[in-house]
Amino acid sequence: MSSPTLSSQTEIKEFLRPLLMGVEEEELDVLAEKAIVRTLPAQAIICQEGEIGDAVYVVVEGEVEVFKRMDDETEHHLHYTGAGEFFGEMAVLQESARTATVRTTRPTTILEIGRDPFLEALGRSPSLGIRIMVRLTNRLRDSDQQAIAKLSQANAELTRMLHRLERLDRTKSDFIQVAAHELRTPVAALTGYAQILRGDPAVQGTSNLRALVEGITSSAERLHRIFNSILDVSKVMSGELQVRRSPVSLSLVLRGIASDFMAALQERHLTLTVEGFDELPYCPGDPDLLYKAFHHLINNAIKYTPNGGQITVSGRVTKAAELGRCIEVAVQDTGIGIAPEDLELIFEKFYRQGEVAFHSSGTTQFKGGGPGLGLTIAQGIIVAHGGRIWAESPGYDETTCPGSRFVVQLPVGSET
């Protein structure tokens, strides 16, 4: 289209005539009289999203861009509009706020026609209404196609990134597993040599040597536990956790765990009560894995319960909608609790509640150090047994200590 010079009402009328074909001369005269010629520089905002639509615009010369501002303040391009094309009519027709912002891309001349004269002309010219509806329909179709194309592109990119992340995750898991295996071997040898030294009469007779050997032994044993936890998590993540089922007495398992923690409980003046397990049926499961799972759960309760607190492990037979008849084990503590938004996150690997005492070398010290893998391992073991595990807590507070409760359900099948 040529670049007309609209310096008079007649020139405006002749410019509008082919665009508003079918409109009566009188209506064209009114529109030409009401139209305002505006010449704008590049990047000038003509109308903004959220404003009330009180005018319709026609590009005489130049180009405008229609775009939306997103919540993160970025701009999403919708389309360009060039000479001889209308914009802004949707808000006028719907009597609503504008849904997009329009700005010039270069020096541009536009006609601005007020809402009332435009609607009056539209009401007297059905053909004009049809053309505008066709134009709007085509614009919506183009926008839909553009959105579908961008969505397809985004989905393809997300798929590529997901595959890449999966490969990286597998590579990371493989590295961690290999590294843990390689490191565990010399640490096991170091532990063995330290234990030999600990039993040597010369070491036992020298307090300084005895203290050094005890430090080496405890540190090596701690490293060994960490490597074992890393390997367990690696098996959980890769789906390689093998469950060798046999009838398991949870009463024996939990009393054995209680015995293991007896020294730590006495040191911190904690009370551990195990109740309700003597009359429970045997649980079909892997005794070693179940021992690990409940060991981690009780260790977690000990770690996040202040000195002098109470930990109760209770068992009962119940029925669950998804599992049927099952054994339910609850580990209740009087510890610092869990924030509602963290009830799911606590089972993620390396996650910890609150600030950890990194200076602490004991896994049973209050908020003591550790790799943050225990609950991940426990969850993986329970799920591998076809069971469920979840956490409950009124909230997190290190002053009032509202406590937390971990619940495990393990299916046992119908009663025979």
Q: Do 302 and 271 form a contact (C-beta atoms < 8 A)?
A: no
Helix, strand or coil, per DSSP, at residue 413? coil
**pLDDT on residue 70:** 85
Digit-coded pLDDT (tens) for 225-254: 777 777 777 777 767 778 889 999 999 999
208 and 72 housed in the same domain: no
Is the pLDDT at 21 greater than 90? The verdict is: no
285 and 392 housed in the same domain: yes
Mean pLDDT of 60-83: 89
Is the pLDDT at 388 greater than 60? The verdict is: yes
Whether 370 maps to a domain, the answer reads: yes
Is the pLDDT at 270 greater than 90? The verdict is: yes
404 and 315 housed in the same domain: yes
CATH assignment at residue 64 = 2.60.120.10
Using pLDDT thresholds of 50, 70 and 90, give the confidence band for residue 213. Answer: confident
More confident residue, 362 or 169: 169
Q: Do 326 and 317 form a contact (C-beta atoms < 8 A)?
A: yes
**213: Cβ contacts below 8 Å, ≥ 6 apart:** 194, 197, 198, 203
Q: Tell me the pairing of strands 388-392 and 310-320.
A: unpaired
Looking at 207, 238, 269, which one is the last position of a domain? 238
Q: Tell me the pairing of strands 271-275 and 310-320.
A: parallel
Is the pLDDT at 173 greater than 70? The verdict is: no
Other CB atoms closer than 10 Å to residue 349's CB: what's the count? Answer: 18
**pLDDT on residue 310:** 95
184 and 324 housed in the same domain: no
Give residue 179's domain range: 160-238
**pLDDT on residue 177:** 67
Mean pLDDT of 193-217: 82
CATH assignment at residue 185 = 1.10.287
Whether 185 maps to a domain, the answer reads: yes
pTM over 0.75: no
**Interior angle at CA 247, CA 243 and CA 248, nearest 5:** 85
Whether 4 maps to a domain, the answer reads: no
Whether 3 maps to a domain, the answer reads: no
268 and 120 housed in the same domain: no
CA 172, CA 163: separation in Å to the nearest integer? 14
Whether 220 maps to a domain, the answer reads: yes
Using pLDDT thresholds of 50, 70 and 90, give the confidence band for residue 279. Answer: confident
Using pLDDT thresholds of 50, 70 and 90, give the confidence band for residue 295. Answer: very high
CA 246, CA 259: separation in Å to the nearest integer? 23
Is the pLDDT at 2 greater than 60? The verdict is: no
Beta bridge partners of 67: 77, 101
Most confident of 105-114, 143-152, 173-182, 225-234: 105-114
**pLDDT on residue 20:** 79
CA 54, CA 48: separation in Å to the nearest integer? 12
Is the pLDDT at 359 greater than 50? The verdict is: no
386 and 270 housed in the same domain: yes
Mean pLDDT of 180-200: 78
Whether 200 maps to a domain, the answer reads: yes
Q: Do 317 and 396 form a contact (C-beta atoms < 8 A)?
A: no
60 and 34 housed in the same domain: yes
Mean pLDDT of 67-81: 86
Is the pLDDT at 5 greater than 60? The verdict is: yes
- Least confident among 6-15, 64-73, 131-140: 131-140
**pLDDT on residue 1:** 44
Whether 19 maps to a domain, the answer reads: yes
CATH assignment at residue 333 = 3.30.565.10
75-93: string of b/e by CB count within 10 Å (b at 16+)? eeebeebebebbbbbbbbb
DSSP state letters, 171-183: HHHHHHHHHHHHH
Mean pLDDT of 349-371: 58
293 and 356 housed in the same domain: yes
Lookup: tokens for 32: 């030409």
228 and 174 housed in the same domain: yes
Beta bridge partners of 327: 317, 410
**pLDDT on residue 369:** 60
- Residue positions counted in the chain: 416
DSSP state letters, 210-275: HHHHHHHHHHHHHHHHHHHHHHHHHHHHHT------EEE-HHHHHHHHHHHTHHHHHHTT-EEEEE
**pLDDT on residue 198:** 80
Q: Do 294 and 253 form a contact (C-beta atoms < 8 A)?
A: yes
300 and 265 housed in the same domain: yes
Residue 39: its H or E element? strand 36-40
223-253: string of b/e by CB count within 10 Å (b at 16+)? bbebbebbbbbbbbbeeebeeeeeebebbeb
Is the pLDDT at 361 greater than 70? The verdict is: no
**pLDDT on residue 391:** 94
Whether 270 maps to a domain, the answer reads: yes
Q: Do 273 and 309 form a contact (C-beta atoms < 8 A)?
A: no
The mean of the pLDDT values for the chain is 83
Q: State residue 283 phi and psi, 5-degree precision.
A: -105, 125
Residue 167: its H or E element? helix 126-198
185 and 54 housed in the same domain: no
Domain count, the chain: 3
Helix 250-260 and helix 287-303, axial crossing angle in degrees, nearest 10? 40
Q: Do 301 and 311 form a contact (C-beta atoms < 8 A)?
A: yes
Q: Do 192 and 217 form a contact (C-beta atoms < 8 A)?
A: no
Q: Do 402 and 395 form a contact (C-beta atoms < 8 A)?
A: yes
Using pLDDT thresholds of 50, 70 and 90, give the confidence band for residue 416. Answer: very low
Digit-coded pLDDT (tens) for 302-341: 999 999 999 999 999 999 888 899 999 999 999 999 999 8
366 and 342 housed in the same domain: yes
